[in-house]
Amino acid sequence: NAGVTQTPKFRVLKTGQSMTLLCAQDMNHEYMYWYRQDPGMGLRLIHYSVGEGTTAKGEVPDGYNVSRLKKQNFLLGLESAAPSQTSVYFCASSQGQGTTTGELFFGEGSRLTVL
Amino acid sequence: DAKTTQPPSMDCAEGRAANLPCNHSTISGNEYVYWYRQIHSQGPQYIIHGLKNNETNEMASLIITEDRKSSTLILPHATLRDTAVYYCITNSRHDKIIFGKGTRLHILP
């Protein structure tokens, strides 16, 4: 029962470096999401995907890019990391119900620190 | 898309029922109410959801008012492991999911 798996779980970057976070789900879900969570805050949606080959912007997309080349994977990229991107990143997936989300299944998070 | 309002924190004695309120006065007729919880820094975990009727599962009960403007999550016999942040959200479009800050529930021994 893997569910939603995120790699890596921890990463430290220097300002200006690039990196990719990988999210993999084994539930054949159509919809996938990337959130960030800052201390004392709720989750904010970065980007999402409603199916293989599709991506869309969420609430806070600037500084991030995503790709969904395979249905089971959703990649989040930082081209030039900034200290403001220090956060915990959560991936989620759902089967969806028409245009609405349905139950979200979350990964355990990826802690990113940008120095 | 509806926005929810929750108290920032609540206390509950261990073994007692924990009742967590949520206001969603602008909820649309076809929007569900979902509850999630986040234990420490783990990923949020689904608890329960409902549309109009009250719902119960092995984790909790969900009471939705007749006008659907508010709901209450009930943990019938709270344990220390229920200490977490609880989020009430309305099921809406993929780009409009708003988690907010939730309610931090403290279970007191």
pLDDT, tens digit (0-9, with 9 covering 90-100), for A73-113: 999 999 999 999 999 999 999 987 665 667 899 999 999 99
B91 in contact with A, Cβ within 8 Å: yes
Residue A18 confidence class, pLDDT cut points 50, 70, 90: very high
What is the per-residue pLDDT across B33-85, written as a single tens digit (0 to 9) for each? 999 999 988 999 999 999 998 999 999 999 999 999 999 999 999 999 999 99
Check CB contact under 8 Å for B87 and A105. Answer: no
End-to-end CA distance of chain B: 39
State how far residue A47 is from chain B, nearest Cα, in angstroms: 8
Taking an 8 Å cut-off on Cβ atoms, the answer to whether A104 and B102 are in contact is no
Burial class (CB in 10 A: 0-12, 13-18, 19+), B100: middle
How is residue A70 annotated by DSSP? S
Chain B residues with CB-CB distance to A88 below 8 A: 41
Length in residues, chain B: 109
